[in-house]
């Protein structure tokens, strides 16, 4: 009489266990930490929204739209427009500076050199934002490195004021958000096949013409994505405008801090935060629409 091997029941049980857990259940299980984190963010956003329609001293029980009406005053409107303008200008400058770096990264063949480039690009994200801002204070100060170098070259006779104005804040915003522009652009350019460039070169196009008429148009979704990331990051920036601009560059995030720290006016700060979030989300939605439309056009042309 033959004996049944003992491994068959174990294998059958394991098979039943695997069939008992569906792929959808496993996917939700792995997504649960991210979903929990998003849930916390949504709950915090709802709390901020509730406080924005409260009153000072009665944030949870009162109801008033005075905080939003206050934002219609010229001073606050000027702060909002300044925030959007600096964020937009910094996004344009960061993208212009990021395009050649991203193109170089996308065309590197050596994995080691590509890692070196990637580490150099990611370096601002690895250094504390406060330390970077203090570094800019050392560079841009009246007795800083930049003024000393310019006077040593004979280009200026006395130090120029680069701190506590929009120019200093703009330089800090561009530098800190530069990696956010490089990475999506490099990814988009890496997806452009070399055959398109070779075909254009075969037809007599120069390297600059190939780059301008082939690589850039096909990389436009990544360029728009990079500009959107820089804009959203700098629109909510607080450390850079506070240290490099002081109170002379009243970006909206600095005003939110001022409403909380000395005044303890939570409704006004919450209303300013809600307006900033809604404005940024609206611009990002428009950018995503343009990017999706551009991507569909590229797919149709191919």
Model pLDDT for residues 178-228, shown as the tens digit of each residue: 999 999 999 999 888 888 888 888 888 888 888 888 888 888 888 988 998
How far apart (Å, rounded) are the C-alpha atoms in residues 187 and 69?
Answer: 43
The mean per-residue pLDDT over the stretch 127-134 comes to 85
CB atoms within 10 A of CB 131: 8
The residues, ordered by sequence, that sit 6+ positions from 141 with a Cβ below 8 Å of its Cβ are 147, 162, 163
Q: How confident is the model at residue 260 (pLDDT cuts 50, 70, 90)?
A: confident
How far apart (Å, rounded) are the C-alpha atoms in residues 290 and 250?
Answer: 31
The residues, ordered by sequence, that sit 6+ positions from 185 with a Cβ below 8 Å of its Cβ are 95, 98, 99, 102, 219, 222, 223, 226
How far apart (Å, rounded) are the C-alpha atoms in residues 99 and 110?
Answer: 20
Model pLDDT for residues 27-67, shown as the tens digit of each residue: 788 888 888 988 998 888 888 888 888 888 777 887 888 88
Q: Which of 92-96, 251-255, 256-260, 267-271 has the lowest mean pLDDT?
A: 256-260
The domains located in the chain, with CATH, are 52-300 (1.10.3720.10)
Q: How confident is the model at residue 17 (pLDDT cuts 50, 70, 90)?
A: very low
Nearest to 134 by CA among 175, 90, 186, 80: 175
For the chain, give the mean pLDDT.
Answer: 83
Q: How confident is the model at residue 298 (pLDDT cuts 50, 70, 90)?
A: low
Q: How confident is the model at residue 301 (pLDDT cuts 50, 70, 90)?
A: low
Given a cut of 90, is residue 90 above it in pLDDT? Answer: yes
How far apart (Å, rounded) are the C-alpha atoms in residues 201 and 219?
Answer: 18
The residues, ordered by sequence, that sit 6+ positions from 45 with a Cβ below 8 Å of its Cβ are 277
Q: Is the pTM of this model over 0.75?
A: yes
């Amino acid at each position: 009489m033959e004996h049944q091997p003992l491994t068959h029941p174990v294998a059958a049980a394991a098979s039943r266990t695997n069939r008992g857990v569906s792929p959808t259940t496993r996917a939700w299980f792995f997504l649960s930490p991210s979903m929990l984190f998003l849930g916390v963010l949504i709950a915090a956003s709802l709390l901020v929204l509730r406080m924005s329609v409260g009153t000072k001293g009665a944030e949870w029980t009162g109801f008033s739209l005075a905080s939003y009406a206050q934002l219609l005053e010229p001073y606050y409107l000027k702060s909002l427009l300044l925030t959007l303008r600096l964020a937009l200008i910094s996004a344009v400058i960061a993208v212009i500076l990021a395009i050649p770096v991203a193109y170089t990264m996308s065309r590197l063949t050596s994995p080691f050199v590509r890692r070196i480039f990637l580490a150099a690009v990611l370096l601002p994200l690895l250094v504390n934002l406060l330390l970077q801002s203090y570094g800019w204070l050392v560079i841009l100060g009246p007795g800083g490195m930049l003024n000393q170098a310019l006077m040593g070259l004979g280009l200026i006779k006395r130090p120029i004021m680069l701190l506590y104005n929009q120019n200093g804040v703009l330089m800090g915003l561009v530098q800190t958000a530069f990696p956010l522009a490089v990475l999506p652009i490099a990814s988009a350019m890496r997806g452009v096949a070399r055959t398109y460039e070779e075909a254009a070169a075969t037809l007599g196009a120069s390297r600059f013409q190939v780059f301008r008429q082939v690589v850039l148009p096909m990389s436009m979704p990544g360029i728009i994505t990079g500009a959107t990331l820089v804009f959203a990051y700098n629109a909510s920036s607080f450390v850079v405008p506070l240290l490099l601009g002081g109170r002379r560059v009243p970006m909206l995030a600095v005003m939110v801090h001022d409403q909380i720290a000395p005044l303890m006016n939570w409704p006004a700060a919450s209303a300013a935060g809600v307006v900033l979030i809604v404005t940024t989300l609206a611009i990002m939605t428009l950018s995503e629409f343009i990017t999706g439309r551009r991507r569909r056009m590229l797919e149709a042309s191919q």
